[in-house]
Copies of this chain bind each other. A is one copy, B any other.
Amino acid sequence: MQEILNRILEDCRRYTLEGEVASYIPELGKGNREAIGIYAATDEGDFFAGDWDEPFTIQSIAKPIFLMLAVRDNGIDVVKQHVGVEATGKPFNAIDYAEPLLLREHINPMVNIGAIAVCGLVKAADNRERFARLLDFTRRITGNPDLEVDQEVYDSEKKTGNKNRALGYLLKNSGMIYGSVEDLLDVYFAMCSLKVNCRDLARIGLLLAAHGTDRETGEQIIPREEAVFINAVLMTSGMYDGSGEFATTVGIPAKSGVGGGIMADCPGRMGIGIFSPALDKKGNSVAGIKMLERLSREMQLSIF
């Protein structure tokens, strides 16, 4: 398998020349577009190639983490009363006098507005504790106690995050956020600014692939049915509006982030972490998707 990863990575290196590094947050634009890394965590051990240990910010890959902890705290049914799981390119249709309330079914937890709502479902006395619990949980599922926020990216997100503020106030207006919007967004921005590498993402993937069981300790960190739920949500909406295409060409649950990372898992087999910062127009790593397509084909990873 090591040989496969090496070969795939070299074959796909040329795709780092395509796409664009995200720049809507100024700090993100500083990413090294030549970086490319892959890491596979399996029951038989770990395999990796390229810049697997280069740090980048987790960005939208925090979304399944919000969902995991919110489901842990409230159960699947309660979470579903707040957000829907249908794929949708349009989080909502109109904001006007005639339609004062957001519809639950339009708020998918894998797009920003749904992720902010789900973040608010994580139980805590205040937003400081909410962040502490989320950071602690992320450290646990990655097995990496050193995970930290990238302070510069966080500052940049906070400074320029006016669209997320808009979404937060829409949620507030519909009674979907309790307490301060600004404080909840601080948690959201901080979590999106977590510095991770391919191994960290592969470990999250492995936990989902193993249906919630920790490889090292055998401990059931999240119940099987919750891991299955997360995988199903990732399959239908984890790759933005490229999710349908990704299902046909790769065929495993995955989540991408505009930092260039992709977290994927093949249930029963392995977790995968990918990094390459240049993105296609849908916001997914170009070289990352190419590597996953190759890996899926060579190892028949598709669950279909």
Contact of A166 among B84, B88, B166, B235 (CB under 8 A): B166
Shortest CB–CB separation between residue A115 and chain B, in angstroms? 12
Binds B, one of A38-46, A215-223, A245-253: A245-253
* A169-B88 Cα distance, complex, nearest whole Å: 23
Q: A75 contacts the other chain (Cβ, under 8 Å)? A: no
Per-residue contact bits, chain A 211-242, to B (CB 8 Å; 1 contact, 0 not): 00000000000000001110111011100111
| Contact across chains for B96 and A91 when beta carbons are under 8 A apart | yes
Q: A244 contacts the other chain (Cβ, under 8 Å)? A: yes
* A245-B273 Cα distance, complex, nearest whole Å: 27
Shortest CB–CB separation between residue A249 and chain B, in angstroms? 8
Shortest CB–CB separation between residue A281 and chain B, in angstroms? 7
Per-residue contact bits, chain A 93-122, to B (CB 8 Å; 1 contact, 0 not): 111111010000000100111000000000
Q: Which of A24, A173, A242 has the most CB of B within 10 A?
A: A173
| Contact across chains for B241 and A86 when beta carbons are under 8 A apart | yes
In the complex, what residues of B have CB within 8 A of residue A92's CB? 95
In the complex, what residues of B have CB within 8 A of residue A227's CB? 304
Besides A165-B166, A232-B302, 6 more A-B contacts (Cβ < 8 Å) are A86-B242, A87-B244, A165-B165, A229-B248, A232-B304, A253-B304
The 10 closest A-B pairs by CB, nearest first: A231-B304, A87-B87, A162-B173, A166-B169, A85-B244, A165-B169, A86-B244, A232-B247, A232-B248, A162-B172
